[in-house]
Amino acid sequence: MCAQMYYRGKMFGFVHLYNGQEAVSTGFIKLLKKEDYVVSTYRDHVHALSKGVPARAVMSELFGKTTGCCRGQGGSMHMFSKEHNVLGGFAFIGEGIPVATGAAFTSKYKRRSRDWKKGPAFGMPGVHVDGMDVLKVREVAKEAIGRARMGGGPTLVECETYRFRGHSLADPDELRDPAEKAHYAARDPITFLKKYIIENELASEAELKAIEKKKMVLRMLLNLQMRVLFHLAASYLKMSLQIQKALELDLMGGIDARTPNSPRALLMSRFVRVGDIH
Ligand SMILES: Cc1ncc(C[n+]2csc(CCOP(=O)(O)OP(=O)(O)O)c2C)c(N)n1
C-alpha cells in the first residue's frame, strides 16, 4: 500500500519499508510501557505504530497531511509523538544515539533515583537473536527491558533480519542475489507466526483465514476509495482550469452568457455540473 502510494506520487521524500523485519518492532516495542521512550532510524513509521501512535496519524504523516503526527512536516523518516514518547526517526545514521542517551538519563533522573544506589552499569551485555522470530525477539527484549528497569543499564541486541525490499522505495533492489532473497522469503516472520499459532492451537486456520479475508476486503475498499478520490480530484482540477480559462476569455471579450458556447455560457454550464456532483 505504501509502495503503491509512493510510486503514484502521493507520498513524498523517501520511504523505507519494513517488510521482513516486523518481528523486531513487534517483539521489542510492544513490551514497552507508555512512558518509555523510543528513538528510531528511518524505518520509524512501524516503530511508531508499535508504540501506539494511531495508524491514522502515521498514515497522514506519510501523506504529508496536517492531521499527521508531525502535522505532515516530518514525513516518513521523522515520526514524532510527544504523547507516545516516540522521540523521532533520524535519517542520519547514529544521530539518534545522543537523543536516546539523553532520554535514558531523563528517565533515570526523574523516576528512578533509588536505582542510582545500585551503582552505574559497567560494560554492556550483547545478545544476538533471530530477528525473523517474534517470540525469540520478545524473550530477549523482556530480559533487556527488565535489566534496564532494575538499573542494570543498556543491552546491545542484534536482531538479525532480512529486509524483503530495497533499502528505500527509491532503490530498485537489483544487486542482491535472487536465491538469497528466496531463502529469506521462505522465513517470512508473519508466515512463521501463523504456523506457530496453528501448530499450538492458539487459533484455527479458519479463524486466521477470516482475518485475512477481512484485511483483503478492507484493502480493496481503501483502494477503491483512493481511486474515487483521485478521479474526483482530477475532474475538479480539469473543471477549475476550464472555468479559469473561460473567465480569462470572458474578462477580455465581455461576451454575453446567452451566446451559445460563449465563455460565460460555458462557465454557467460548468457550475451546474459542479452542483450536480454535490
Ligand atoms: C551519517 C550518515 N552517513 C551516510 C548516510 C547514508 N545512508 C543512508 S542508509 C545507509 C546504509 C545503512 O545501512 P543499514 O542500516 O544496514 O541499511 P538497511 O538495511 O536499513 O537498508 C547509509 C550509508 C546517512 N544516512 N547518515
Summarised one tens digit per residue, pLDDT across range 15-57 is 999 999 999 999 999 999 999 999 999 999 999 999 999 999 9
- Whether pTM > 0.85 for this model: the answer is no
Q: Which pLDDT does position 257 carry in this prediction? A: 53
Residue located nearest, by CA, to atom 21 of ligand 1: 167
CA 91 – ligand 1 centroid, Å: 8
Confidence of residue 200 (pLDDT cuts 50, 70, 90): very high
Cα separation of 125 and 3, whole Å? 37
SS3 of residue 77 by DSSP: coil
Rounded to the nearest angstrom, the distance between the alpha carbon of 93 and the centre of ligand 1 is 6
Contact 129, 142 (CB under 8 A): no
Q: C-alpha distances in angstroms, 129 versus 132, 133, 143, 144, 273?
A: 9, 8, 12, 12, 62
CA of 257 to the centre of ligand 1 (A): 62
Q: Which residue shows C-alpha cell 512536516?
A: 73
- Give the nearest ligand 1 atom to 168 CA: 21
pLDDT at 278: 39
pLDDT tens column, 203-226? 999 999 999 999 888 888 888 888
Nearest CA to ligand 1 atom 17: 167
Residue nearest to atom 22 of ligand 1 (CA): 93
d(CA 85, CA 33): 10
Helices 205-253 and 263-277 sit at what angle, rounded to 10 degrees? 160
Distance separating alpha carbons of residues 205 and 226, to the nearest angstrom: 31
pLDDT tens for 67-122 read: 999 999 999 999 999 999 999 999 999 999 999 999 999 988 886 544 444 444 45
* Residue 210, number of CB atoms within 10 A of its CB: 12
C-beta neighbour count of 84 within 10 angstroms: 21
Torsion sign (Cα): 199, 200, 201, 204: negative
Q: 2 vs 74, 242, 251, CA distance in Å?
A: 16, 33, 45
Say which residue the cell 551503582 belongs to: 119
Q: Which helix (H) or strand (E) holds 101?
A: helix 96-111
- Least confident range from 132-146, 218-232, 236-250: namely 236-250
Q: Report which of 30, 51, 31, 27 is spatially closest to residue 39, judged by C-alpha positions.
A: 51
What mean pLDDT do residues 131-140 have?
97
Centre of ligand 1 to C-alpha 247, Å, is 52
| Pocket lining for ligand 1, CB < 6 angstroms | 91-93, 163, 167
Residue nearest to atom 24 of ligand 1 (CA): 92
Burial of 14 (0-12, 13-18, 19+ CB in 10 A): middle
Tell me what pLDDT residue 132 has: 96
Q: Which fold has domain 2-202?
A: Rossmann fold (3.40.50)
Residue 278 neighbours by CB under 8 Å, 6+ apart: none
Joined together, the cell numbers standing for residue 185 give 522469503
Which of 41, 90, 93, 180 is the best mutation target for the ligand 1 pocket, counting ligand atoms within 8 Å of the beta carbon and taking the most? 93
- Residue ranges per structural domain of the chain: 2-202, 233-277
> Whose C-alpha lies nearest to ligand 1, atom 26?
92
Side-chain half-sphere CA neighbours of 115 within 13 A: 17
Question: What contacts 86, CB < 8 A, 6 or more positions away?
Answer: 37, 38, 40, 44, 47, 48, 51, 53, 69, 79, 80
